[in-house]
Amino acid sequence: MSAESVGIGIVGGGLMGREIAAAIQRWPALIDHPARPRLAAVCDINPAALTWFEQIDTVTQLTTQYAELLANPDVDVVYVAVRHDLHEQMYTDVIRSGKDLLAEKPFGIDRAAASAILQALEEHPESFVRCSSEMPFFPGAQRAIDYVRSGAVGQIIEARSAFLHSSDLDESKPINWKRQAKYCGAAGVMNDLGMHAWHVPLRLGWEPESLTAVLQNLVPQRPGAAGELEVCDTWENATVWGDVATSSGRFPLTVETKRIAPGNKNTWVFEVIGKTGGVRFATSNPKRIEVLTIDDVPGIGREQGWTALEAGSQSVWPTVTGGIFETGFSDAILQMWAAYLAERVGELGDRFGAATPQEAARTHSLYDAALASAESGRWTQVG
């Protein structure tokens, strides 16, 4: 297959900007992919953040002004990884520039911002836009999704999707933009981690009609730059219970996004229990996927039990990595980009794709309902 060369521009050279730059350098790991990305340009308002990118020899533009990157004819696709309060302006500018966009979650700081981004996209449908959500690209997650889609679980009894951290347990950790509502958004941890936990339920069509939520601000103050305590006004943990209707009945969907879940470090969890089967996977044990079997056991009789399977390394796009090897966060990022760039040229087929703009915008309706439910203490319709 002859691969199309694609110029990539990154806006925001922080944690995720560097991660994506590194993923692009690992592209040869993919087998027969229709695109060959080349990191052409990077923008960060902080010149010091740009120096790291000097080691990548395909980069011909380093700038502190993202308008300059948008004017660069060598850039076809822009990946934007900046504070949430900057999403609306930058995403709509990318869309209006005629370039394609891989956006970061939460796709605007709130529902109004997400709607404005959708509006820009409606006016410029030629711009191919998706939102980052890489955790479902773990091979074990893909197996779990395929298992659910096969119908093996039968009528669903309950499901859980979670994204769990614990680094915020350290109360001496300095405040940063993710812990301030004016930059992160009123939805707090949901803005930060919610896309990870909602992407698969939304893709499977499990959108609750109503929900109830408990939100917790567990660390209301953190040290600022000078060491003095500053107000930390974002929700740390959000637990949402949704009422999901399907053609075979209703079931409770629990969605947890937590910055303080002791024992967990970037753990993505997905569990489904049904009348005839079940599946569970967590990235804390990336090799292992468990399926519930109900079978006749010789000498014992009909029993239920969990069977552990090894997930291996292969995800949506085949790679040179041996099938028996383990996978990790950086592999999931590479796979999400493989899906994004394949879908951009119509080559994704029936493989799992990155989150759509509609899915990303929908998460804000869920967060709004969760905020309203936490405020009122009542079940709330999702608007």
Ligand X SMILES: NC(=O)c1ccc[n+]([C@@H]2O[C@H](COP(=O)([O-])OP(=O)(O)OC[C@H]3O[C@@H](n4cnc5c(N)ncnc54)[C@H](O)[C@@H]3O)[C@@H](O)[C@H]2O)c1
Q: Which residues of this protein are in contact with ligand X, per CB under 6 A?
A: 11-17, 43-46, 49, 66, 81-84, 86, 104-105, 132, 134, 192
Question: Residue 362: beta bridge partners?
Answer: none
Looking at the Cβ atoms of 93 and 290, the one nearer to ligand X is 93
Please name which of 339, 333, 340 lies closest in space to residue 17, comparing C-alpha atoms: 333
Q: Write the burial class of residue 359 (CB in 10 Å: 0-12 exposed, 13-18 middle, 19+ buried).
A: buried
Residue that has been written with the tokens 């399907």 in this structure: 246
Looking at the Cβ atoms of 79 and 206, the one nearer to ligand X is 79
Looking at the Cβ atoms of 44 and 290, the one nearer to ligand X is 44
Looking at the Cβ atoms of 21 and 43, the one nearer to ligand X is 43
Distances (CA, A) of 188 to 143, 181, 215, 279, 368: 31, 6, 10, 30, 11
Residue that has been written with the tokens 């970037």 in this structure: 266
Nearest approach, Cβ of residue 222 and ligand X (Å): 16
Looking at the Cβ atoms of 22 and 45, the one nearer to ligand X is 45
Looking at the Cβ atoms of 44 and 110, the one nearer to ligand X is 44
Give the nearest residue (CB) to ligand X: 14
Nearest approach, Cβ of residue 133 and ligand X (Å): 7
319 Rama class: left (phi>0) / alpha (psi -120 to 50) / beta = beta
Nearest approach, Cβ of residue 15 and ligand X (Å): 4
Cα-trace Rg, the chain:
21
Nearest approach, Cβ of residue 343 and ligand X (Å): 17
Looking at the Cβ atoms of 86 and 291, the one nearer to ligand X is 86
Answer yes or no: are the C-beta atoms of 204 and 198 closer than 8 Å: no
Looking at the Cβ atoms of 49 and 316, the one nearer to ligand X is 49
Specify the 3-state DSSP secondary structure of 223.
strand
Terminal-residue alpha carbon distance, the chain = 45
Angle, to 10 degrees, between the axis of helix 111-123 and the axis of helix 357-376? 160
| CA–CA distance, 355 with 202 (Å, rounded to integer) | 9
Q: What sign for the dihedral angle of Cα 277, 282, 283, 288?
A: negative
Looking at the Cβ atoms of 292 and 360, the one nearer to ligand X is 360
Could you tell me the maximum CA-CA distance found in the chain, to the nearest angstrom? 73
Nearest approach, Cβ of residue 50 and ligand X (Å): 9
The secondary element (H helix, E strand) that includes residue 184 is helix 181-184
Nearest approach, Cβ of residue 195 and ligand X (Å): 8
Nearest approach, Cβ of residue 328 and ligand X (Å): 13
Nearest approach, Cβ of residue 67 and ligand X (Å): 10
- Type of residue at 127: S
Nearest approach, Cβ of residue 105 and ligand X (Å): 5
Answer yes or no: are the C-beta atoms of 120 and 96 closer than 8 Å: yes
